[in-house]
Chains A and B, each alone.
Chain A
Amino acid sequence: MTTLSDLEAQAVRNRPAFGEHAHILCDNLVRIFKTEGVEVVALQGLDLLIEKGELIAIVGASGSGKSTLLNVLSGLDVPTAGLAKVAGMDLLSMTSRDRLRYRRSVVGFIWQQTARNLLPYLTGHENVLLPMQLAGNKRDARRRAAELLELLGVADCAGRRPGELSGGQQQRIAIAVALANQPEVILADEPTGELDSDTSEEVFGALRRANRELGVTAVIVTHDPTVSEQVDRTVGIRDGRTSSETLRRTSVDGDVIAEEYAVLDRVGRLQLPRDFTNALDMERRVRLELERDHIGVWPATPGEENND
């Protein structure tokens, strides 16, 4: 006799595990900030899959959990529950030694405040050298630092201190710093938040170059449309969950076509955009109907409401 668990095992056996091949994997990720008596749930079961070498943008309103997600991915914060894996390393079960190694060699990151990314009393070159020195990678460090600065177009700023540089130059050096230890992933938290649009373009260009030429997976949290509209995939986060994804492809005639999708999670949950639900006065319950090629969603009829 087949039991229920046998059936479940059979169902899973021939299918790959969720996000098995993803470079960054978040499955039902939860992060709760807790002090006595007060809890703030910043991530409420977030799912995210990012392939190796991808350049994606994460957008969302203030307080939606973007920065928390980035802190988790950068190894600076530990999630409360769920699964988070980057380059095969489980962020929940890492020891502090693993975490240090992870920060040294797997990820690099860039913050929004230009001044916060660099040590003000070191030159651009010294700033790039610092992570390599900290990690003990002293061999070829100078050459690599020079190469990175060259790649990002700020070779002329190598001998100058951050105070003598423009915001854009500082951010590009910050990208070089993030790339110093040859990470597999770079994470950027609003890297263009303090910059004007031209400079933003430069900085984003530098990020894209790093992504394309070095093959680094890049995750950019941003509000900036010049950034979010130029990446292949934009993930929207709402209330601590991934709510939508926008995919962009270039059409045959050269136009960029953006298509926005709602995200269906592993257990079949779907977040409907608030505009849609408001427009149709959808509340509490909806009616679903399976059609041949789609699922229809209807507001509950008044009669049914009354029967409630």
Chain B
Amino acid sequence: MNAWQLVRVHRGAAAVLALLALTASLLVAGLPRGFEAAYDRALVGALGDVARQQSDLLVGLRPNFSEDELNDQSEFTRLDTEWRKVLPPTLASAVIQGGSSHQSAKTYGTPVSGRIGSRPLPQQYLDLAWVAGIEKKIRYVEGRAPGPATTLPSVPGDPDLKDLTLFEVGLVEETAERMSLPVGSTVLLGNSYTIAARVVGLFEAVDPTDRFWDHNLEVKRVTTRPVPEADEPDVLGVGVIPAVDLPVLDSRRELHYSWVLPVEPTKITARNAPQVIQDILDYRQLVEQQGERNDTGIAQIPAARFELFTGLDPLLTKFLNDLRTAQTLMFLILGGLVVVAFGVIALAVQLLTERTRAGLGLARARGASLAQVAGAGTRTTVLIVVPAALAGYAASYLVPGPITPVVHVSPLILVAATIAFAAVRLALTHRKPLRDTREDLVAPKSSPRRIALELLVVALALGGAYLLRTRGLATDVTELGADPFLLAVPAALTLAAALITLRCYPFPLRLIVRLANRRRGAVPFLGLTLAARSRGATSLPVLILLPALAVSVFGALVSGAIFETQRTAAWQAVGAPARVERAAEIPEDVVAKVRALPGVTSVLPVAKGTVQVATGGGVSTALAMDLAAYRKLVAGSPLEVPEPPVGDGIPALVSANLAAYPSFEIGWYNRMQINNVGSIETLPGLAFESNNLIVMPYEGPKLAGLRTFTNVLLIGGNVDYDVLKRTVGLTDAVVETFDAANTRIASSPLSQTITAAFTIVTVALAGYALIAVIIALVIGAAERARSLSFLRTLGLSQRQARLLTVLEVAPLIVLTSLAGLALGLVLPAALGPGLDLSAYAGIAVTEFPLTFTTPILLAAGLAAVSILGAFGHASTGRRVATALRVGESS
């Protein structure tokens, strides 16, 4: 039997099957690629967001003895080569040559102990730094580049200090200004082993945004360090010295050597990240093991304790944790998609088997062996499915993204499963040649064995869901990745729901039939009766519709939860539709300008400050604001604002640690007595959750004898971020709007991917559901046409026949949709402990808000589309009256 001939003869069914194989193959090969690409984008984003200091590798040494000192740049270069040579392979591929690679020797915490020619200033520190290649990164704007160190024979006014090493240093302008060190000034550094440094030039960074500066921030700018119990902070500057000074930069100072090995974020992917983490662990061991016992290690420097500094491994670990949730979700929806896609393909195979049944059955009766018949049918399926799947697989290469094994394996599995299904189905169909069923026999009842098996599946699914709810996962998802149990439960629940639907759907139907029976029209009664009787042929569409809807509803819920939580997070980040905050007071005219902006409905002035609490010590965040107005401002948002404090003196709401004191004193520009009249937990957007909080009326400071002032504006209405920022016009003011915050949270690659994936999958599933219903109808078309023909001879009109067809399939679709909807709504609850969506929302997602609108719309839409498909099929199908021919019924 010629398989190609069978394909040509049954080209309609073959085209359907080919199209399904193509799309399924494209989806199962393309979606994972898209996902992986998004994971990689997310990883690059995560690594790009942090300073290079965190993402690069830095080998550091603090020389303790003169033997550890490196006196020449070539020694730094030699060690750089050594460090690179021993990098483990995966890590080595991510570490780049050049870029911001460099070595440095820097002192740390060297106090300015004196000045020559002027009075020393307190709390000043000046460190010396040699950074390889810095000369290309800076430009001298005053003076000249520092030259080699000389000797300062004596220090005026301090006869003890003689023959000091005098370094020539270059400073960044900002440091020179802040530390009052113009070109030509000389300072004494260190209280012991004093050295001297003379400023010979001032420089600026050629490119301040160069990631090179991430490692040398203190060179580029002046650093201030707040000191407890002091009014002024410490000021720290760094002077640049040339490489020739390395021999005189000795270990008696707090000296640090470092080798920066820059990591290229794009070279690390979601797939090699675990290996990179492992490599960092190994590399750290390699770097740090040296110097032990007689082993002089890689550097060949005895007793030198090298250390590896990097934030890369914790960054990657955190990313992988976030990724696992994404992967679990993707796995769930992809799994659902694969099941549904395969279900529809199986249905199409069934259609093809039905179409070839007569021909192959005749051949079987005429002496074809089972192998010949099944072989011919299977070859036909291969001819249809393989080229189509190959085309889909090829098309998947248009989707940008890395190629993972799953890209090759999933289409292969799909094709293999389809061919196996076709072979088994054909073998079962033609096992006995021309097994004519006798129509005078009733359909066999379900065997007790089958009922027991179904009950077992249902019990296992429910038990699994219960265990998952109560016990949670045995393994830690963050450590070990997705638990198979987590993935098995939804599958089992879907199967159980499908079994229950198939078993139980005649019961509600019976009720409806009874109602229909009372009415005069025969069509509803007949249609529903047919629906109740058509049991056997309907299981596959149920098995397809149910998971399709369950996955769609689940996806909608997860998307909804992410969307809602992102909004909540944005509200919590801003605290109002828009907020302007500044350390200093916001001038009246700015407030007036903001108030006048189009779209602004209200502006709430707030005074915010960090205050000392006299009683019990400690600091608190104090807010002076009109809570009643704030409540009005955020009405309808997820933010909750308590009633304003009412009472004598200065009434205030205080957080728990101050709740014990009915009245206490705080220092906020002035001393003020606060009366505790209630408690407050948090005010998101205005104060961090960890802060202690005191909220008083806006007039609070005035009551204490000060005046009211404003350094925070909470703005109601709808105002554009850029417009607001421009209007405020203060460089030191923080401007935030809800929309900007929400966009920032929602635009992370992972959450975008999830939302996009759910949309694609939902659309694909709806398409599949529609195709499933139509194929099921086409398979049963001949049978239906025959039974309708009998009814037509009894006077059934064409319109009634159409209605009958729709009524025959509608109950099953509606009931399955309801079951799918219910299952989809239950799934998040069942999977609760296994799904952590925090990574996509910015805050912890504590519960899934059950938003019914989208799921119900989905279920209704899917049911409507399917029923419309049935109606369309009934309208365009062959004219039923022609189906009845003499003798055909026997």
Contact = CB atoms under 8 A, between A and B. Distances in A.
A35 B366 contact: no
B368 interface: yes
A44 interface: no
A90 to B, nearest CB: 18
A113 interface: yes
A52 to B, nearest CB: 22
Contact of B442 (A35, A76, A120, A131): A35
Given A112-B887, A116-B358, A121-B5, A40 B440 contact: yes
Interface in B849-890: 886-888
A33 B438 contact: yes
Contact of A131 (B358, B366, B445): B366
A75 B434 CA distance: 10
Contact of A194 (B358, B363, B369, B887): B887
Contacts of A105: 367
Nearest to B446: A36
A134 B367 contact: yes
A116 B362 contact: yes
A117 B361 CA distance: 11
Contacts of B886: 194
A130 B445 CA distance: 39
B515 interface: no
B356 to A, nearest CB: 10
A104 interface: yes
B367 A181 contact: yes
A103 interface: yes
A36 B363 contact: no
B445 A36 contact: yes
Which bracket fits the contact residues of A?
20 to 34
A134 B444 CA distance: 35
Contacts of A120: 359
A131 B367 contact: yes
Contacts of B366: 103, 130-131, 134, 177
B437 to A, nearest CB: 10
Interface residues of B, number: 29
Contacts of A194: 886-887
Contacts of A112: 887
A193 B441 contact: no
Contacts of A130: 1, 363, 366
A104 B441 contact: no
Chain A interface secondary structure, helix, strand, loop or mixed?
mixed
A279 B526 CA distance: 46
A117 B433 CA distance: 14
B797 interface: no
A71 interface: yes
A40 B9 CA distance: 38
A61 to B, nearest CB: 13
B229 interface: no
B365 interface: yes
Contacts of B648: none
A94 interface: no
Contacts of B435: 76
Contacts of B231: none
A103 B365 contact: yes
Contacts of A295: none
A7 interface: no
B365 A76 contact: yes
Interface string A67-90: 000010011100000000000000
A270 interface: no
A130 B363 CA distance: 8
Contact of A119 (B363, B434, B887): B363
Nearest to A180: B366
A36 B372 contact: no
Interface in A267-290: none
Contacts of A131: 366-367
B387 to A, nearest CB: 21
A38 interface: yes
Given A36-B445, A112-B887, A116-B358, A100 B438 contact: no
A130 B369 CA distance: 13
B732 interface: no
Contacts of B444: 35-36
A165 interface: no
A100 B369 contact: yes
A40 B441 contact: yes
B819 to A, nearest CB: 28
B359 A119 contact: yes
B588 interface: no
Which of A71, A109, A119, A131 has the most chain B CB atoms closer than 10 A to its own CB?
A: A119
B436 interface: yes
Contacts of A38: 441-442
A21 B369 CA distance: 31
Nearest to B362: A119
A134 B362 CA distance: 12
Nearest to A177: B366
Given A112-B887, A121-B5, A194-B887, A135 B442 contact: no
Interface in B438-479: 438, 440-445
A248 B418 CA distance: 59
Given A35-B444, A40-B441, A113-B887, A76 B368 contact: no
A68 to B, nearest CB: 9
Q: Counting chain A CB atoms within 10 Å of each CB, which of B5, B363, B366, B435 scores highest? A: B366
Contacts of B363: 119, 130, 134
B436 A40 contact: no
Contacts of A71: 434, 436
Given A76-B365, A121-B9, A35 B441 contact: yes
Contacts of B372: 134
Contact of A103 (B5, B433, B436, B888): B433
Interface string B359-381: 10011011111001000000000
A135 B725 CA distance: 88
Nearest to B445: A36
Interface in B4-29: 5, 8-9
A203 B220 CA distance: 107
Contacts of A35: 441-444
B460 to A, nearest CB: 28
Contacts of B434: 71, 76
Contacts of B362: 116-119
A35 B447 CA distance: 12
Contacts of A40: 438, 440-441
A40 B369 CA distance: 29
Contacts of A76: 365, 432-435
A191 B434 CA distance: 18
B440 A104 contact: no
B443 to A, nearest CB: 8
Given A38-B441, A121-B8, 15 more contacts: A40-B438, A40-B440, A71-B436, A76-B434, A100-B367, A103-B365, A109-B365, A113-B887, A116-B362, A119-B359, A119-B363, A130-B1, A134-B368, A135-B367, A193-B887
Interface of A: 33, 35-38, 40, 71, 74-76, 100, 103-105, 109, 112-113, 116-121, 130-131, 134-135, 177, 181, 193-194
24 contacts: A35-B441, A35-B443, A37-B445, A75-B433, A76-B433, A76-B434, A100-B367, A100-B369, A103-B367, A109-B365, A116-B362, A118-B362, A119-B362, A120-B359, A121-B9, A130-B1, A131-B367, A134-B363, A134-B367, A134-B369, A135-B367, A193-B887, A194-B886, A194-B887
Question: 3 closest Cβ contacts across the A-B interface?
Answer: A104-B367, A121-B9, A134-B368
